[in-house]
Structure 1
Amino acid sequence: MSQIQRISILIILSLLLSGCGVRFVYNQLDWIIPWYLDDYMELDGRQEDAFRSDLDRYLAWHRTEQLPLYAQFLNQVADEAETGLSVDDIARVQLQSEQFAATLVERMKPDLIELFATATDEQVDQLFEKFNKENAKYRKEYVDVPEQKQRQQWQKEVIRYAERWTGDLNKDQLALIRKWSEQFALMGEGLGESRLAWQAEFRRILQLRTDRAAYEKAFVALLDNPQFGRSPELQQKMDANSDLLINLYLNIDKSLTTKQRTKAVAKLRDYADDFVVLAKQ
């Protein structure tokens, strides 16, 4: 996923499923998102007014049309999780999650295109200065570290994520994650190169913004191609890692205690209930 898509999507989806209260965070998105964007590109008064107007419409659409779908989806996953997940269940979860993300991108395309069409050269420089800082941080954390440390980092991330849903994992479940991390194909270098390729293309597109037709066509093409910049080798690793992760999910699901499964199902339904309430506000 591109950095612009992460800026736009993860603010909503990741914050919604964070450790913070879902209802509280969602109701603060009208100021959280501008604050987050400002860290990438400081808007002038005219741009900020237009962005906030677009954001209000976007959040109203998301609240009324998307949140009920999220609630329905999570309740369906909870129903399946009560008796144990299958490969098909996990595949449906992945596919539906991707479709939700694609819907968000599609809905925000016109606003993103308009926002960056008005960017000054100084704002573009500010944006890419932020990208460069993120690239350096990414390389420090995921490339310029020993292989074993990288695998330990992945272990910690998966454990942290799993325990948010299940509570403390037992030693057998932790062993499953360690085994997975040993088989996982490290992608730090390849993903870093993909980021740089995407950024280079994005900068080229921004240089076209005085030619609106060419700019818009190129921007849409980039947003419609989430695989842009990936080498065949990287894509092969990503596919293999996806299969490994599905297998890990299945093995952990099979190993859940009654207490862990009950907690996970309850958490899914709590999120669904929150989305139902938010959609009606």
Structure 2
Amino acid sequence: MYACLHKYLRPCLLLLAPALLVVACSRIDLAYRNLDVLVPWSLNDYLDMNRQQKTWLNQRLKQHLAWHCRTQLPGYLTWIDEVRQMVADDQVTDAQLQLRTQEAKQAIAKVADQITPSAAQLLSAMDDDQVREMRQAFSDDIRERQAKFVKTPLARQIEARSERMEKRLTPWLGELTAQQQLRIVTWSQSLGEQNRQWIANRANWQAHFSGLMEQRKSANFEPQLEQLLKNRESLWTPEYRVAYQRTEQAARQLLVDLIAQSTPQQRQHLEQRLSQVQKDLSDLKCLKS
């Protein structure tokens, strides 16, 4: 629950993006009722909330879900249709993907706007023990990610990155061809040691967040929290800023190439999956009511 909002910004958002993330569950209505993208960090991973805090958060989350379904979901349906039409018209180009990505980021910003007051209210009420536990959880998170993604041989990092991308794309395109698999390997190789820059930047953001929590009783807490949640790019390290631009461009080119290499069956499969997601979201009770 409460998975990181920054998942939207992984390369796969270019194809999957906001509404599509909820299809990880076979029951899309169940997935949406537990929609975790309305909270911008893995709260349960880093913070041990007491019963009163959990009850408060669950009630507030229901309100945010109702707002999200009423005001945001219709736009997601349009977004999915535009992606589907882009595939049908053979217009999966770098320019079109940049446009779709920008639309996805705007959707994220709207959610951040909505939830920031709730996040500020919850976090400002945390006691010192909870903040210390959160800081320790941040430290554990970075150590585990470094062990998994950095302290392994570069060849294994590249191989694992290729495997993750294949796993993300296969449900949408079906079984990948040898040519497509090779293109994914080439993409992964081109990113080199980006894992190191990504984790260093993550640690930098967590450090800013931990520092801000020391000021959680101040009047400036909510505006500064808003910057952390909405304007994460302003806190990026210089190395990650360069790496991110390179990574996003490489991801777009990868998808352009994969679609260009796709078979008629794969394109049909993709269109059908997009149409099904659109239908499932359209059928949500919250949207109908």
Distance 1:81 1:105 in 2: 30
- Look up the SS of the partner of 1:256 in the other structure: coil
Q: Which residue of 1 aligns with 2:33?
A: 27
- Look up the SS of the partner of 1:91 in the other structure: helix
Q: TM-score, normalised by structure 1?
A: 0.88
Q: Which residue of 2 aligns with 1:240?
A: 246
Distance 2:135 2:109 in 1: 25
Of residues 68, 83, 86, the one that matches 1:77 is: 83
Aligned pairs (5 A) from 1:191-210: 191-210=198-217
Q: Does residue 119 in structure 1 map to residue 118 in structure 2? A: no
How far residue 135 of structure 1 moved from its aligned partner, in angstroms, is 1.2
User: Which letter does structure 2 place at the counterpart of 1:178?
Assistant: V
Does the aligned pair in 2 maintain the 1:9–1:104 contact within 8 Å? no
How far residue 214 of structure 1 moved from its aligned partner, in angstroms, is 2.5
Distance 1:118 1:63 in 2: 28
Q: Deviation string for 1:114-147 (max 9, x for gaps)? A: 1000000111122222222221221111110111
Percent of residue pairs bearing the same amino acid type = 21
- Look up the SS of the partner of 1:197 in the other structure: helix
Does the aligned pair in 1 maintain the 2:201–2:237 contact within 8 Å? yes
- Look up the SS of the partner of 1:42 in the other structure: coil
Q: Which residue of 1 aligns with 2:108?
A: 101
Consecutive unaligned residues in structure 1, runs of 5 or more: none
With 251-260 and 178-187 compared, the bigger mean Cα shift is at 178-187
Of residues 46, 59, 64, the one that matches 2:52 is: 46
Distance 2:132 2:204 in 1: 17
How far residue 5 of structure 1 moved from its aligned partner, in angstroms, is 4.3
Q: Which residue of 1 aligns with 2:62?
A: 56
Q: TM-score, normalised by structure 2?
A: 0.86
How far residue 7 of structure 1 moved from its aligned partner, in angstroms, is 9.1
Q: Which residue of 2 aligns with 1:254?
A: 260
- Look up the SS of the partner of 2:220 in the other structure: helix
Give the number of equivalent residue pairs.
274
Distance 1:81 1:119 in 2: 47
Q: Which has the higher contact order (CA 8 A, sep 6+)?
A: 1
Does the aligned pair in 2 maintain the 1:9–1:101 contact within 8 Å? no
C-alpha RMSD of the superposition? 2.5
With 214-223 and 82-91 compared, the bigger mean Cα shift is at 214-223
Consecutive unaligned residues in structure 2, runs of 5 or more: 11-17
Q: Which residue of 1 aligns with 2:13?
A: none
Does the aligned pair in 2 maintain the 1:187–1:237 contact within 8 Å? yes
Aligned pairs (5 A) from 1:206-217: 206-211=213-218, 213-217=219-223
How far residue 39 of structure 1 moved from its aligned partner, in angstroms, is 4.2
